[in-house]
């Protein structure tokens, strides 16, 4: 990233904004807050974040997503530079941006802790890769 440039806003988008996109927002804040600001949102909301995700993020990353995050609509977040869709097997929500990509992640909801942990590790790897690509300029913003 160019010195003096404002950090880009990255939105992790999924229809319900209750699991994968929430995990990505939390891990983005944990691992990449020096390079970009992380948000998550959807076109529908849930009354609370997926409780398996909340529990496992506390255990494995020390993050209480319910303390700092909530299910949000796209209209609830600021304009963004990068949109990451999670792999909604339906029509992913649209949001204007300079760069867009889809991480094609299966929703772990209703599956074992092992499936959730695999999804979390994939999101962590993807967040770190995104951080590198924004830092080294391979994503043009």
Write the pLDDT tens digit of every residue in 26-70. 999 999 999 999 999 998 888 999 999 999 999 999 999 999 999
Q: Which sequence spans correspond to the domains of the chain? A: 9-135
**Structural domain 9-135, CATH architecture:** 3-Layer(aba) Sandwich (3.40)
Longest dimension (CA), the chain: 44
| Residue whose structure tokens are 């948000």 | 39
Q: Give the pLDDT band of residue 134 (cuts 50, 70, 90).
A: very high
Distance of alpha carbon 83 from alpha carbon 86, whole angstroms:
10
- The pair phi, psi for residue 140, each rounded to 5°, is -80, 115
């Amino acid at each position: 990233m160019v010195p003096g440039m404002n950090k880009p806003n990255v939105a992790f988008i999924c229809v319900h904004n209750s699991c994968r996109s929430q995990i990505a927002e939390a891990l983005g804040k944990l691992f990449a807050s020096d390079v970009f600001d992380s948000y998550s949102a959807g076109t529908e909301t849930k009354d609370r974040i997926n409780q398996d995700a909340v529990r496992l993020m506390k255990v494995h990353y020390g993050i209480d997503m319910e303390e700092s995050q909530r299910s949000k609509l796209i209209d609830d977040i600021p304009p963004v530079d990068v949109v990451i869709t999670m792999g909604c097997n339906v029509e992913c929500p649209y949001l204007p941006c300079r760069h867009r990509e889809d991480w094609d992640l299966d929703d772990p909801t209703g599956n074992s802790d092992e499936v959730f942990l695999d999804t979390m590790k994939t999101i962590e790897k993807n967040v770190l890769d995104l951080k590198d690509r924004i830092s080294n300029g391979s994503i043009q913003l």
